Homo-oligomer: A and B are copies of this chain.
Amino acid sequence: MVKEIKVAPMHKLIKRAGASRVSEESAIALGKALEEIGVKVAREAIDFAEHAGRKTVKARDIEIAAQKVMAR
C-alpha cells in the first residue's frame, strides 16, 4: 500500500460532494480506494508509455489508462 493520499483532503472531498457528516473511517476508506485505483491507472499508463517507446509517463498515458480502468 502506497499511502500517498492523506485523510483530510478525502474528508473535504466527501463534504463537498454533499455529505452532512463524514466519519473519519469513511475518509480513510476513500483514500484507500482512490490509492488502489491510482496504482492501477499508473501501471496501465506505464505500459502505454513503454509501448510507445517512451521512458516518461505523459498526461495522455494517464488519461487513456484512467478511461480503460474505469471502463472495466
Contacts and interface: CB of A to CB of B under 8 A. Distances in A.
Contact of A46 (B4, B9, B18, B58): B18
Interface of A: 2, 4-6, 9-10, 12-14, 16-23, 25-26, 28-30, 33-35, 37-39, 41-43, 45-46, 49, 55-59, 61-63, 66, 70, 72
Copies in the complex: 2
Contact of A39 (B17, B33, B42): B17
A25 B60 CA distance: 9
Contact of A33 (B6, B28, B46, B66): B66
B63 A42 contact: no
The 4 closest A-B pairs by CB, nearest first: A17-B42, A4-B9, A25-B59, A33-B66
